[in-house]
Amino acid sequence: MRSFLQIKIYRGKFIAYSVFVVCIGLALGAITCAVLLDQWIQNSRNEASGAFTRVENTLQNDADRIEAFMQRVYSNSGLIADVRYFLGNSAEGYLTSRLQDSHYNRPLVSFPEDIKSFLSNGGHGDITQVSLHTSLKGNVVRFDTNGNTKFLFNLLNSSTLFQENIQEGFIYRKKLLDPNQISRQLGEFRFLVSSDRIFQTLQNYRLSDAGAVSTSGEVYVIAGSDAKAGELIKQAALDERDHGFLRTGLLDRAYFVTFQSTQFDYKFVSIIDMEALVRQKANVLLIVFLIVLAAMISVLLLIVYNLREDANFLRRIINSIGRAKTADFAPINPARYRRNEYGMIARELDDMIHQLDKHIRTNYLLKLKQQETEMKALQHQINPHFLYNTLEVIRSFALSSRDEGTSDAIATLGALYRDIVKYENIITLGCELDLLHKYLKIMEFKYPDRFYYQYNVDDALLELSTVKFWMQPLAENFFVHGFNPENEFNLLVVNGKEEEDRFVLEIVDNGNWITEERLAEIRNSLARGDDASTGSIGLRNVYTRLHFFYGEGFSMHIDNNEEAGIKITVILPKEAAWDV
């Protein structure tokens, strides 16, 4: 470390890098903590939303049960009669009326018992009190936690027992109408849903401080026991926002979220104390701090290593450049001298770069021209050769047959050469197969009823880019070396398929075999890049052009078939085929 700190530029760099890494590390640590806190707050918010939804669903379920009970009352004449006896009567009056209207052959219907069994689950449901009111008084049926029933009669409607209080519960009001005269109201039902029984179902939810606040400001604390929690819940309910932060101290804040009930006039409020949340998640935050600290130390060690290597490189490069400049290189626009080590490197490297750039460009252009010239020369070697063979085919056909076949052969040849002239050097494999098709069609004219060909090429290969006119020489080898005019069935098959990481093209015939010695000679010639021993320019030219075009990933194999003939396999890796 001491070696590079002695150099001015590296000493300044190390200080700048250290400040930068510390700032970035602190920023990343702060962002990570903020993201984690936001995620924890969101989880708490989702928990509160789930708890509120649970309460609303429970209240809705109770509302549905009450509605079903009211339908049950109106549909049962005995039950509606018992309700009317219960309405406005004392206990004695209610019992007397029931006995007077009883029949020995019909069971007595009890309004309180029906409520207990149908509506309150035997007294253990959410509905703990049902009262039936006239304009002045009301009679009450209450159910305690043990399922016992208690009756209260002739209580004034102004009694505290009927006051709506969120500590006691929520009240559903239903009018009692005369079944014989719907417009006439007999009284009013009031069903009390206990807050304790509603909110005790939220014990499994992870709520730190939560409560329900009525429109009058009364607070039912669901979670949290201290008075501060109740005040925060009330303060959050008065806030016009549905979520946000409340200041609870000089630096402390609490996050709140509120939900407005659609069933009753109350708000569900959940409070998240940020200080308590941080203490609860201290282990996670400590891990984040340690990870950030370890990352900063690792980056600083990497910087120290690189700076030390750069310092050694600086000393070596100045000496190397001095030796390299002994060549006859004239300096062009030397870099402005700066009074530090990088200034010397810049001035020395400028001289070297200009010279290297000149040589690289020259050699690169020469190689490109050389390859272009070679490819043109190779293609020119093939096209005249094919033209002579094709004209010989047409001449032989014209001598042996004086019909429209000669015209078709000439038309096919014209179409073939028009395509050769029209197409650029780079075409699709589908176009190349079309050129081969025209050539094979001409060969059909020469050998009617003795030559057949077939294509089996996947569609995926048709859009691949390739060089022009390389399949014809491979097919021509068949007619020069393997074709038997005496054979009634000479076949040439072109197969093309897509495999997992490559494309495979096969040109297969049923002609003569190649001797093993000759086959080895051809393979060695292709591997060496030597034309002399192959005896045919076509095969070598095709290999050279495709190798230039596809690069090192290309390969071509020549093998004898087991039955008869040879198979030429051309393999194009997908990466090379798509990136040419």
Residue with tokens 């941080």: 278
The CA distances from residue 552 to 464, 531, 547, in Å, are 17, 19, 7
pLDDT at 453: 92
Q: Nearest 5°: phi and psi at 215?
A: -65, -25
- Rg (alpha carbons) of the chain, rounded to whole number: 48
* 26: Cβ contacts below 8 Å, ≥ 6 apart: 292
**CA 479, 480, 483, 485 torsion-angle sign:** positive
The per-residue DSSP string of 323-334 comes to HHTTSS----SP
Query: Residue 256's closest CA among 230, 284, 237?
Result: 237
**What does pTM read for this prediction?**
0.51
The per-residue DSSP string of 512-528 comes to PPPPHHHHHHHHHHHHH
The per-residue DSSP string of 207-225 comes to -SEEEEEETT--EEEEE--
pLDDT at 458: 93
pLDDT at 534: 46
CB-based contacts of 155-159 (< 8 A; 24+ apart in sequence): 157/133
* 385: Cβ contacts below 8 Å, ≥ 6 apart: 537, 538
CB-based contacts of 411-417 (< 8 A; 24+ apart in sequence): 412/438, 412/441, 412/442, 412/445, 413/438, 413/442, 416/390, 416/442, 417/387
Collapsed DSSP state (helix, strand, coil) of residue 403: coil
Question: How far apart are alpha carbons 555 and 570 in whole angstroms?
Answer: 6
Collapsed DSSP state (helix, strand, coil) of residue 460: helix
Domain boundaries, the chain: 76-199, 365-579
Collapsed DSSP state (helix, strand, coil) of residue 138: strand
pLDDT at 358: 67
Question: How far apart are alpha carbons 538 and 530 in whole angstroms?
Answer: 13
pLDDT at 533: 45
Displacement of CA 413 from its chain's centroid (Å): 54
pLDDT at 330: 45
The CA distances from residue 556 to 358, 368, 551, in Å, are 37, 24, 12
Contact of 439 with 416, CB cutoff 8 Å: yes
Strand order in the sheet with 209-214: 219-223, 209-214, 266-273, 253-260, 243-247
Return the structure tokens found at 525.
């010639």
Q: Give the CATH architecture of domain 365-579.
A: 2-Layer Sandwich (3.30)
Displacement of CA 444 from its chain's centroid (Å): 55
pLDDT at 4: 64
Collapsed DSSP state (helix, strand, coil) of residue 263: coil
- Across the chain, which has 580 residues, the per-10-residue mean pLDDT values are 66 84 91 90 90 91 90 88 88 85 70 83 81 92 84 90 87 89 88 89 85 88 78 86 82 86 88 84 89 91 77 61 52 50 61 65 59 58 58 65 65 70 79 90 86 92 88 88 87 92 92 88 76 59 82 87 90 74
Return the structure tokens found at 201.
């179902």
